[in-house]
Amino acid sequence: MNLAEQGLLLEQQLCFDVYAASRAINKAYRPLLEALGLTYPQYLVMLVLWQHEAQTVKQLGEQLQLDSGTLSPLLKRLESAGFLQRQRRASDEREVEIQLTEAGRALRQQASNVPASIFQALGLNASDYLELKRLLHQVMASVEANSPD
Amino acid sequence: MNLAEQGLLLEQQLCFDVYAASRAINKAYRPLLEALGLTYPQYLVMLVLWQHEAQTVKQLGEQLQLDSGTLSPLLKRLESAGFLQRQRRASDEREVEIQLTEAGRALRQQASNVPASIFQALGLNASDYLELKRLLHQVMASVEANSPD
DNA sequence: ACAAATTGAATTGCACACAATATAATTGCT
DNA sequence: AGCAATTATATTGTGTGCAATTCAATTTGT
């Protein structure tokens, strides 16, 4: 087997591992978030909003690296669920401001035990946790330098 | 801010990083694979088939951790594209055997430069590459121990 | 001032993911 | 042999992701 063919084997490793780990983590969140009526991407949006209540779609997209094609329908579902409201900003009618409802704020308390449960499920000690985070950031920085947004 | 609230901040870090890195990597593959007429999940299926030509849907699913709900339509698209054929196995008609076509085999040569390009784009040295792989495997093992397939 | 370019969201179209269900074939049990 | 349980795949329905397009509002250049 030549070098190129080896690549097509080794290849599958790291990138596939990131992809598989992402799906495995999503699966771990599912039962916890189901109790809150959220999917994992919806939970991420709520996390951002719990930190800073009023955000435009664009600001959410920048933090989550998601575009309006993903966020628009997701935010509508969260609005239907009663967790937030969407309204055009008066100062610039192109922007849509997202605000939590009381139910959306209340959900934060119910979610308070989720992070610890997940951390537990990941099975990493503190230093491995930080090391993994560092390596993922390095990968993202490199990849985005080559294929910018 | 109490501990639970801190978790809802820190929280976003590692799991979000894995999720964001997975999407960033997918984006890096996109232009390379577009030239081959493949998506990233389709490329993963082809990688497995290049290693071992004849596989059932179940065997592919075990290696990729994907179920028939994802694989069935994906394999039909690869069949439409002319890269593989699907046929019921005579010895057990519940199984569908996937076989590469000549075009599917030929695609391997065109893909031979993809792994090196991606490795380059990841911007990791060999030891970081292995460390990241190790940590992701550890996460997957822990997570799957808690929420088995 | 005002046409052209830009910006922010939404929409459309396509391709995953995955839970839940359905269907058909095989195996196991008696 | 015959029926229940199991197995392998497909289908359905919901929810992302993201490229490409559209549309309205704002900003820019002259």
In angstroms, rounded to a whole number, what is the distance separating the alpha carbons of residues A6 and B135?
23
Touching B: A residues 80-99, CB under 8 Å: none
**Percent with pLDDT over 90 in chain B:** 86
Q: Which chain B residues are within 8 Å of A108, Cβ to Cβ?
A: 8
Distance (Å) of CA B104 to CA A137, B39, B90, B99: 35, 14, 23, 9
Mean pLDDT (chain A) is: 94
pLDDT in tens, B26-60: 999 999 999 999 999 999 999 999 999 889 999 99
- Residue A141: Cβ within 10 Å count: 11
Considering all nucleic acid strands, name the nucleotide whose C1' atom is nearest to the C-alpha of residue A67.
D18
Indicate the SS3 state at residue B11.
coil
**Cβ contact B65–A20 (<8 Å):** yes
**Percent with pLDDT over 90 in chain A:** 86
Q: Which of residues 69-88 of A touch strand D (CB under 7 A)?
A: 69-70, 73-74, 77
- HEC profile for chain A? CCHHHHHHHHCCCHHHHHHHHHHHHHHHHHHHHHCCCCCHHHHHHHHHHHHCCCEEHHHHHHHHCCCHHHHHHHHHHHHHCCCEEEEECCCCCCCEEEEECHHHHHHHHHCCCHHHHHHHHHCCCHHHHHHHHHHHHHHHHHHHHHCCC
Count how many Cα atoms sit within 13 Å of the Cα of residue B146 in the half-sphere of its side chain: 21
pLDDT in tens, A7-64: 777 666 899 999 999 999 999 999 999 999 999 999 999 999 999 988 999 999 999 9
| Average pLDDT score over residue span A112-117 | 94
- Residue B1: Cβ within 10 Å count: 7
CB B123 within 7 Å, strand C: no
Element (H, E) at B43: helix B40-51
Domains recognised in chain A with CATH numbers: 14-146 (1.10.10.10)
Residue B87 C-alpha, separation from nearest chain A C-alpha, in angstroms:
26
Query: How many degrees, rounded to 5, is the angle at CA A63 between CA A77 and CA B11?
Result: 85
Element (H, E) at B55: strand B55-56
CB B67 within 7 Å, strand C: yes
